[in-house]
Amino acid sequence: MNNFFSFIFYSLIIFTFWISFKKRKIRSVNLFFYHTFLGSIFVLYTLNNPSDTKSLFFDNDFDNCSLILTNPLDESNPIACFTYLLKTYFIDNFGLVCSIFSFIGFLGINIFYNLTCSLRLRNSFDHYLINSLFFIPSISFWSSINYKDSIVILSYAVLAEFIYYISNNKVSKTEILKVVIASILTLIVRPYTFFFLILSITFVLTIYLINQIINERINIKSIISFSIALSLIIPSIAFTSNQLSISTSDTDLNKLNFELIKNRSELSKKNSFESNSYIDKSGLNKTLFILFGPYSFLNIFYFFESLTGFFFLLIAIRIFYFTFFKRIILYRPEILFSISLISLEFIKIQLVIFNFGIIARQRTIIYLLLSLIFFLQSKYNVNSSVYDKEIVKEKT
């Protein structure tokens, strides 16, 4: 129980520092305490069950730091090194590490939360749906102390917010610095996620550059941005291939070799086969299971995940309604960026993940990005308080 109370104690200290820097919205404060409550449950769960989170703290040594010099983009080593240094030279307490990564996950969720709650919507159903979304237990539970996932969620949130600000001409030097830091952290922690980010940014810039060429309004900044993004694709492919590879002796890691994905998928399936959470599904059945499953009340975990799946089924229905009946099809950069990331994350889960526990954890980012798309469509709905002729022009 010492680690549990330490988590609460250090979380409150971090909260004190957080609110001392800037006045925070009451909704963000409420979300913090709710997120910390779910994080405390995660701590108890982790301490009493086999967990990668626990092993990364208790079962590591200096070798994880020395390996960074020989294999700097290994997805686990940087975090294992950080936890080792923290417990060796600062405070040897699992609760402290958990509180740090719980706060990182909270920051990511809070960015999405503030983006989606920045406007009041007249449609009461959408209003309550978007406000209750971030208080679904699964969202905070899976983003609280999963080291890598917390950092990835924060990175996606920072990039989505940055692109949203760009489209609204609100970019500052601070936002640019946040993007650089988030991108570096993503590259260090999970290289294939960095590849996803580069692909998505390149996709958005390509769409806008083509539009500028068609309208004969080419912007030099767009060309420079596109060139930089394009130049990062090949290095990011090498980083991703290095991470996916099991044996690199006969493999060219400077190109995206689909054999690596196949091998990784087979290994993942083999490792998941003996677990209680093994998913023997494929095709459309697995797609529906990933997005809206597991449709089961087998235990409390399945109950809450089924509740989460049903909730996002409602959001998917609303997105479908906005798109095909209200014809709210927005070619905004943040929506294109979100669609690209959702597609890449979904393909990853569909092809290489066969453990429902991992699926439930990694579909969280899909849900958060879907919520952003849902909010923006609802914002431009005719029932929204911000609807006017200028917005009609922007849609077209």
Residue 393 has pLDDT above 50, yes or no: no
Of the ranges 135-149, 168-182, 254-268, 314-328, which one carries the lowest mean pLDDT score?
A: 254-268
**Alpha carbon distance 328, 276 (integer Å):** 42
Angle formed by the axes of helices 300-324 and 137-144, to 10°?
Answer: 110
Angle formed by the axes of helices 94-116 and 147-167, to 10°?
Answer: 30
Q: pTM (2 decimals)?
A: 0.85
* 394 Cβ neighbours under 8 A, 6+ residues apart: 380
**What pLDDT sits at residue 272?**
65
Residue 6 has pLDDT above 90, yes or no: yes
- The 10s digit of each residue's pLDDT in 257-271 is 556 666 666 766 766
Residue 38 has pLDDT above 90, yes or no: yes
Segment 136-142 mean pLDDT: 89
The pLDDT > 90 percentage for the chain reads 29
CA torsion angle 24 27 31 32 (round to 10): 20
Give the pair of three-digit tokens for residue 251. Answer: 């493999």
Segment 278-282 mean pLDDT: 81
Three-state DSSP class for residue 60: coil
First-to-last alpha carbon distance for the chain, in angstroms, is: 58
- The 10s digit of each residue's pLDDT in 340-351 is 999 999 999 998
Are 370 and 318 within 8 A, CB to CB? no
- The 10s digit of each residue's pLDDT in 123-132 is 778 878 888 8
> Could you give phi then psi for residue 278, rounded to 5 degrees?
-65, 135
Residue 55 has pLDDT above 80, yes or no: no
* 79 Cβ neighbours under 8 A, 6+ residues apart: 56, 147, 148, 189
- CB-count burial class (<10 Å; 0-12, 13-18, 19+) for 165: middle
**What pLDDT sits at residue 105?**
93
